[in-house]
Amino acid sequence: MKIALIGYGKMGKTIERLALERGHVITEKFSTNNPFLNQKEVEADVAIEFTEPSLVVNHIKHCNTLGLPVVVGTTAWYEHFTTVVEDVKSKNGSMFYATNFSLGVNLFFLANEHLAKLMNAYPEYTCSIEEIHHTEKKDAPSGTAITTAEGILENHSNYNQWKLSENSDKTIKIEALRLPNVPGTHHVIYESAVDKITLSHEAKSRDGFALGSIVAAEWLFSKKGVYNMKDLLNFDKS
């Protein structure tokens, strides 16, 4: 498969290494010095996009214009989600999006939803989320933390919103820490007067996220429409 990389930072380089190991070809590498939006055609079967929130929407729309399927790893753009999906469908395009491509994180999401259903019966426990990322991560809270919070809101009747660093009634507090040289870590915490229950995921490297995006690209190849990790992993059928 021919892959174009939109974004060639640390994640892009990791995707390149793992894609080559899986027998794929990297045909294009777009970055600040070689902007994707300047391209009128791209020789690739699929693009994998890891850039910045301010760029991603235009990148997706340009992929749609070029007829290039795109796997989107950038987060913090979902306020434009409806508009983007309409653009994908109107141009008969293909998009795969996820707040996190790691298999382990997606199992964490599933466990989080199940735990929220169980904890719904125990209002004496308050729920909060803590996420830790490196100082280079620009969005806070992370897309992974937001997806985690949304999983709780869908399954726990005691909460109707999440807020960053704020405790209030029916609110899940998300604490977003940015520290140097740390792995991405997410904790869901249920705490009562007598004990604390913690569900955690800690990434050891970028490889899990990068590999997941490549698997998504392999899966998206030849498909039309909008998909996410639940489609790929069939979690709704589990």
Q: If we measure between CA atoms, which residue out of 99, 117, 124, 120 comes closest to residue 186? A: 99
Q: Which long-range contacts (CB under 8 A, 24 or more apart) does 122-126 make?
A: 122/190, 122/192, 123/158, 124/192, 124/193, 125/190, 125/191, 125/192, 125/197, 126/190, 126/191, 126/192
Question: What are the DSSP calls for 129-160, one per residue?
Answer: EEEEEETT--SSS-HHHHHHHHHHHTT-TT--
Q: Which residues are catalytic?
A: 133, 137
* Helix H or strand E segment including 96: strand 94-97
